[in-house]
């Protein structure tokens, strides 16, 4: 277990028990949640701490798995009751998913409290939870982190806009998928949508396009990060969180928040996400080596290099 | 007018009169067709000759436009009757279009005859027409060209599979969009679909993903070419043909058919296509300079460069 005081990155998000059906398989009660995917992905680059909540039914095997990744769990509360559960089904093309069930359980009353050692971490990723809770975390920081990234979702854009606006003004980077970017800004064109996001405060807007990669916008222009082309994958769940976690981990490892460093970190996040989707849950990341990640990153570089 | 004997590239395809409706505009009776877009795009790189057919209603203004691009029209037949007409409407997001009307007119009886000077061109692009006609063109070549690219569409995959298979076995590169690649091979995954295309004969499979760029597959691996991000565009019609024409033009200009040369040519094709969609018909390409293309290509390079 990493000692808390060396933690470079904290990730606040959900921990869930997922049931997932794809055209080829169905898996019940597997570990999921943005904090699980994000921390596991980040753990290949830096000591990372998880902030979240689970119920008293949370299996020891999943805690053991977190320990194998070296994830610090001082910020993972255990509350009486059941862990957050989600169930979804992917259609034939895997880019369209339907939620069958969402049981918030202990997540409904979640109030993230940062362990003392997390209040000075230089890198903070506020994964998708309510913007009020994201603000509550930010307020607990005793020093302004070097870099704060926030994710959100359509629900909060819809029902918690004032808090979300307040949050967006205080982060360095806001990440959204295409439809969220359009919903937040009212702009269909992603370049124009990103420009509106930047006008809300952040230095960077990172728009995720799933299997079509991602775009980083800043006043320096645009960076285009394609997705790594895979011959097969099992489960797209958590791809965006693995991407974001790998990105923040790589960024924290380099301790440089200039645009070139962000681009390199996006490449690494994209590689980690490409591994994550090859299997369900954290199964592919479990046992993955940094060497395998670096090898695929080098292979990726050859795929985007114009001769 | 370029003297025909210096022609490096011939493009066989459709010439049409289009009526197009987008969420923001409606334009009647404008110049379209794969040969129009392809030749105009290629003309920035090499002397190009057009093989196609128009009716006796074809406006002189469009012939003048071809002349401004320096397109050789020795292979453009004029037949009694009306020019091919197409009309379509784009939905709000511009990635979905509906055909309102297709009138083949003189195109129904089109039999492409290559002028003598075209029968020895080193680069040949068989844009989307029936595979029987594409084979008929190939049969007229007195020397096997250095590089032959073919495009096709769902209709021919559906109704002319034997001829299409025969064609595919004889070309160097087959280009398809995502849904055509899936339809032709029965594989949803694009990497697996491309592998099946390569097994049919061509050295290269180029899969177009519209605003998400394109992928080049060969036994050397994959090259990922993202699309240039645009803040606004007027009309996606012809983007794929402008991409293909620019690609073939750039390839012919370098007279090198190695994979690095193909990658560089894809970059240039992508840039020319990004200009083409900024306006209707050939309006944005008309008057465009090679310098503007090279400037945008340099800008593009900065957008994909990991710092």
pLDDT in the model for residue B5: 55
pLDDT in the model for residue A122: 97
Mean pLDDT of A70-77: 98
The reply to whether ipTM tops 0.95 is: no
Picking from A223, A229, A264, the nearest residue to B191 by CB comes out as A229
Separation CA A258–CA A255 (nearest Å): 9
Question: How many C-beta atoms surround the C-beta of residue B121 within 10 A?
Answer: 24
The model's confidence at residue A94, banded by pLDDT at 50, 70 and 90, is: confident
**Alpha-carbon torsion, ordered B274, B280, B281, B283, to 10 deg:** -80
pTM (global) more than 0.90: yes
Mean pLDDT of A108-128: 96
Structure tokens that stand for B82 in this block: 């009306």
Q: Per-residue pLDDT for B94 more than 80?
A: no
Give the DSSP per-residue string, B14-70.
--EEEEEE-SS-EEEEEEE-HHHHHHHHHTTTS-EEEEEEEETT--HHHHHHHHHHT
Question: Are the beta carbons of A258 and B93 separated by less than 8 Å?
Answer: no
Mean pLDDT of B141-158: 96
pLDDT in the model for residue B143: 92
Let me know the angle formed at the C-alpha of B74 by B70 and B80, rounded to the nearest 5 degrees.
120
Question: Are the beta carbons of B189 and A221 separated by less than 8 Å?
Answer: no
The model's confidence at residue A90, banded by pLDDT at 50, 70 and 90, is: very high
> Which long-range CB contacts under 8 A does A254-257 form with residues at least 24 apart?
A255/A8, A255/A122, A255/A146, A257/A146, A257/A147, A257/A172
Q: Give residue-wise pLDDT tens across range A236-260.
A: 999 999 999 999 999 999 999 999 9
Picking from A92, A260, A304, the nearest residue to B304 by CB comes out as A304
Report the gap between the CA of A244 and the closest CA in chain B (Å).
Answer: 17
Q: Please, what's the b/e burial string for A144-165 (b: 16 or more CB within 10 A of its CB; e: otherwise)?
A: ebbbbbbbbbeebbeebeebbe
Picking from B93, B263, B307, the nearest residue to A306 by CB comes out as B263
Mean pLDDT of B30-39: 98
List all residues of chain B from 277 to 306 with a beta carbon under 8 Å from chain A: 301-306
Burial of B48 from C-beta contacts in 10 A (0-12 / 13-18 / 19+) = buried
Mean pLDDT of A133-141: 98
Identify which of A82, A68, A61 has the alpha carbon closest to the alpha carbon of residue A39: A68
Residues 6+ apart with CB under 8 A from A282: A31, A36, A37, A40, A65, A69, A276
Q: Per-residue pLDDT for B4 more than 90?
A: no
Q: Per-residue pLDDT for B2 more than 50?
A: no
Q: Per-residue pLDDT for A118 more than 80?
A: yes
pLDDT in the model for residue B1: 41
The three-class DSSP label of residue B216 is strand
Residue in chain B closest to A266 (alpha carbons) equals: B306
The model's confidence at residue A3, banded by pLDDT at 50, 70 and 90, is: very low
Q: Per-residue pLDDT for B244 more than 80?
A: yes
pLDDT in the model for residue B201: 98
Q: Per-residue pLDDT for A5 more than 70?
A: no
The model's confidence at residue B192, banded by pLDDT at 50, 70 and 90, is: very high
List all residues of chain B from 139 to 198 with a beta carbon under 8 Å from chain A: 188-192
A278, A288 contact by CB (below 8 A): no
Mutate to test the interface with A, among B205, B298, B304, B305 (most CBs of A within 10 A): B304
Q: The sheet that has B214-218: what strands, in order across it?
A: B72-79, B48-55, B9-12, B123-126, B147-151, B173-177, B204-208, B214-218, B221-225
Identify which of A166, A106, A158 has the alpha carbon closest to the alpha carbon of residue A136: A166
A201 in reach of chain B (CB within 8 A): no
* Tokens 């003189």, located at residue: B106
Separation CA B80–CA B152 (nearest Å): 27
Q: Per-residue pLDDT for A1 more than 50?
A: no
Q: Give residue-wise pLDDT tens across range B271-291.
A: 999 999 999 999 999 999 999
Write down the mean pLDDT value for chain B. 95
Question: Are the beta carbons of B209 and A212 separated by less than 8 Å?
Answer: yes
A51, A118 contact by CB (below 8 A): yes
Report the gap between the CA of B264 and the closest CA in chain A (Å).
Answer: 6
B230 in reach of chain A (CB within 8 A): yes
pLDDT in the model for residue B3: 45
A263, A223 contact by CB (below 8 A): yes
Give the DSSP per-residue string, B60-127.
HHHHHHHHHHT-EEEEEEEESSPPPEEEEEE-TTSS-EEEEEEE-GGGGG------GGGGG-SEEEE-
The three-class DSSP label of residue B209 is coil
Q: Per-residue pLDDT for A51 more than 80?
A: yes
Residues 6+ apart with CB under 8 A from B48: B7, B8, B9, B10, B11, B39, B42, B70, B71, B72, B245, B249
Question: Are the beta carbons of A221 and B303 separated by less than 8 Å?
Answer: yes
The model's confidence at residue A60, banded by pLDDT at 50, 70 and 90, is: very high
Mean pLDDT of A63-70: 98
Residues 6+ apart with CB under 8 A from A100: A19, A87, A88, A89
Mean pLDDT of A273-299: 98
Q: Give the 3-state secondary structure of chain A.
A: CCCHHHCCEEEECCCEEEEEECCCCEEEEEEECHHHHHHHHHCCCCCEEEEEEEECCCCHHHHHHHHHHCCEEEEEEEECCCCCEEEEEECCCCCCEEEEEEECHHHHHCCCCCCHHHHHCCEEEECCCCHHHHHHHHHCCCCCCCEEEEECCHHHHHHCHHHHHHHHCCCCEEEEEHHHHHHHHCCCCHHHHHHHHHHCCCCEEEEECHHHCEEEEECCEEEEECCCCCCCCCCCCCHHHHHHHHHHHHHHHHCCCCHHHHHHHHHHHHHHHHHHCCCCCCCCCCCCCHHHHHHHHHHHHHHHCCC
B213 in reach of chain A (CB within 8 A): yes
Separation CA A9–CA A251 (nearest Å): 10
């Amino acid at each position: 277990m990493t000692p808390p005081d060396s933690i470079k990155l904290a990730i606040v998000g959900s921990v869930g028990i997922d049931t997932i059906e794809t055209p080829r398989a169905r898996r019940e009660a597997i570990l999921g949640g943005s904090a699980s995917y994000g921390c596991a992905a980040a753990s290949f680059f830096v000591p990372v701490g998880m902030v979240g909540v689970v119920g008293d039914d949370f299996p020891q095997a999943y805690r053991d798995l977190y320990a194998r990744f070296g994830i610090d769990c001082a910020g993972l509360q255990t509350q009486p009751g059941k862990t957050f559960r989600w169930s979804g089904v992917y259609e034939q093309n895997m880019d369209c998913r339907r939620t069958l069930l969402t049981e918030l359980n202990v997540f409904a009353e979640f109030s993230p409290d940062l362990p003392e050692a997390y209040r000075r971490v230089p890198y903070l990723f506020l994964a998708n939870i309510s913007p009020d809770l994201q603000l509550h975390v930010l307020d607990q920081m005793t020093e302004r982190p070097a870099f704060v990234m926030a994710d959100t979702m359509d629900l909060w854009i819809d029902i918690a806009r004032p808090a979300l606006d307040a949050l967006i003004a205080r982060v360095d980077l806001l990440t959204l998928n295409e439809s969220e970017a359009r919903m937040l800004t009212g702009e269909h064109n992603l370049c124009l949508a990103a420009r509106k996001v930047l006008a809300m405060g952040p230095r960077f807007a990172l728009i995720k396009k799933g299997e079509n990669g991602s775009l980083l916008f800043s006043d320096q222009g645009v960076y285009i990060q394609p997705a790594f082309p895979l011959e097969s994958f099992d489960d797209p769940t958590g791809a965006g969180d693995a991407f974001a976690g790998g990105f923040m981990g790589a960024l924290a490892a380099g301790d440089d928040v200039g645009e070139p460093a962000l681009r390199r970190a996006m490449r690494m996040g994209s590689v980690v996400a490409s591994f994550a989707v090859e299997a369900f849950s954290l199964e592919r990341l479990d046992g993955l080596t940094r060497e395998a990640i670096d090898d695929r990153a080098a292979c990726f570089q050859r795929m985007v290099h114009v001769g």
